[in-house]
Amino acid sequence: MTLEQAQAIIASPFFSAFLEPAADRRAFITERLAAQGIPYRTVTLQDKTHIVITYRQSAYNPRFKMKTLIAHYDRAAGSPGANDNSAASIQLLLFAQTLLQKRDAHNIRIIFTDGEEAGADGIKNQGAYRLGQGLRALSMQQDDIFVFDMCGSGDTLILSESGIYGRDKRKTAALSALHRRCRIYADAACRGRWLSLPTAYSDNAGLISAGLTAQVITVLPRAEAELLMRYMPHSAGMHLSGNVHSAECNKSAGMEISANESAAQALQRSIITNAHVPPDSPLAAVIPQTWQRMHTPQDSLETLTPQAFILVDKMLRYLAGVKEAAYYAKL
């Protein structure tokens, strides 16, 4: 994807129509798929309707693992949802057409999920939770699942570390293994333009709770990501403890910490729970502005950047060529 092509997507009437407050976003996606001749079906589970794309049989080789790409098409009330999650929905919708032209096996299914935002009322209310239960019942728990969320603004691909430091060692081992492989993919697809960071949960919360393994992929401006990295212990198995970085945080960002919580812990909690902090909070100086626009009227078309679309396109095209032996699922 060229810069001009990415700019054209963002500026297109097609994208603007998806952002209209009264848009029937499910119908928008299914009508586009039907017009392009892309095979799909809808699956309704507990009043949430998901859109599943599965290609012709020759697109799948049982010797290799399945790859499921997910983006939620619902949005928070009162927000245009340009970045959360219209960008990733449009990116996968366009990529679905690219895969239709691919002659060799790619082992990809695409799911547009409904009800991701309902997870704010509890994981089991999230559409992905019931979907995950269904996928597990169909023995799809061995898929590599990649969740694309908030992928429209920035110049750096972010591989989320959410879930990999949990207490359930069986789940975290599988999540860590997928994360390690995803780092290899990102380095090949977007060399020098990716980072690994803790992020808020997305559909992966419901999927992990249902017993599946899912990796979130998002995008941030490099400066915002690097600022967050300065204050949040992450990666390489580094857990938050005691006063890690707290002195530096307090000095540089003016953070107030309680007797039982370091500044780094307060920051991590705010990130993982997707807490909206007041503009005058010290945390607001560190939490990426891109994330602070989530679920607000400021999540608008004007905040999207073509560089984010180029990065995601590179990652998607690389994933289409990944061939992990199916026996990995048994290790």
Specify the 3-state DSSP secondary structure of 197: strand
> What's the confidence (pLDDT) of residue 262?
65
- Give the position of tokens 């919360």: 205
> What's the confidence (pLDDT) of residue 237?
36
The residue among 229, 112, 227 whose CA lies nearest residue 161 is 229
> What's the confidence (pLDDT) of residue 91?
98
Torsion, Cα of 165, 325, 316, 87 (10° steps) = -50
Query: Please, are residues 157 and 213 in contact by the beta-carbon 8 Å criterion?
Result: no
Q: What is the pLDDT along the chain (331 residues), one digit of tens a residue?
A: 999 999 999 999 999 999 999 999 999 999 999 999 999 999 888 888 999 999 999 999 999 999 999 999 999 999 999 999 999 999 999 999 999 999 899 999 999 999 876 655 566 666 667 677 777 666 666 789 999 999 999 999 999 987 776 656 676 888 899 999 999 999 999 999 999 998 877 766 777 777 788 899 999 999 999 999 888 754 433 333 222 233 333 333 334 444 445 666 777 777 776 777 788 888 888 889 999 999 899 999 999 999 999 999 999 999 999 999 886 444 3
Q: Which two tokens stand for residue 165?
A: 């430091």
> What's the confidence (pLDDT) of residue 105?
96
Q: Report how far residue 220's alpha carbon sits from residue 193's, in angstroms, rounded to the nearest whole number.
A: 10
The residue among 168, 162, 166 whose CA lies nearest residue 216 is 162
> What's the confidence (pLDDT) of residue 244?
27
Please list, in sequence order, all residues whose beta carbon lies within 8 angstroms of the beta carbon of residue 87, skipping any fewer than 6 positions away.
Answer: 150, 151, 152, 153, 304, 308, 309
Model confidence, pTM: 0.86
| Domain spans of the chain, in order of start | 3-221+298-330, 223-287
Q: Report how far residue 45's alpha carbon sits from residue 114's, in angstroms, rounded to the nearest whole number.
A: 10
Q: What are phi and psi of 42, to 5 degrees?
A: -105, 145
Q: Report how far residue 66's alpha carbon sits from residue 302's, in angstroms, rounded to the nearest whole number.
A: 36
> What's the confidence (pLDDT) of residue 125?
63
> What's the confidence (pLDDT) of residue 131?
73
CB atoms within 10 A of CB 219: 29
- Could you please state the CATH topology (level 3) that the domain comprising 3-221+298-330 is classified under: Aminopeptidase (3.40.630)
Q: Which two tokens stand for residue 194?
A: 């990716």
Q: What are phi and psi of 16, to 5 degrees?
A: -60, -40
Please spell the DSSP secondary structure of 165-225, one letter per residue.
T-S-HHHHHHHHHHHHHHHHHHHHHSTTSEEEE-----THHHHHHTT--EEEEEEE-HHHH
> What's the confidence (pLDDT) of residue 179?
93
Which regions of 26-96 does DSSP assign to beta strands (E)? 40-45, 48-53, 67-72
Q: Report how far residue 272's alpha carbon sits from residue 259's, in angstroms, rounded to the nearest whole number.
A: 21
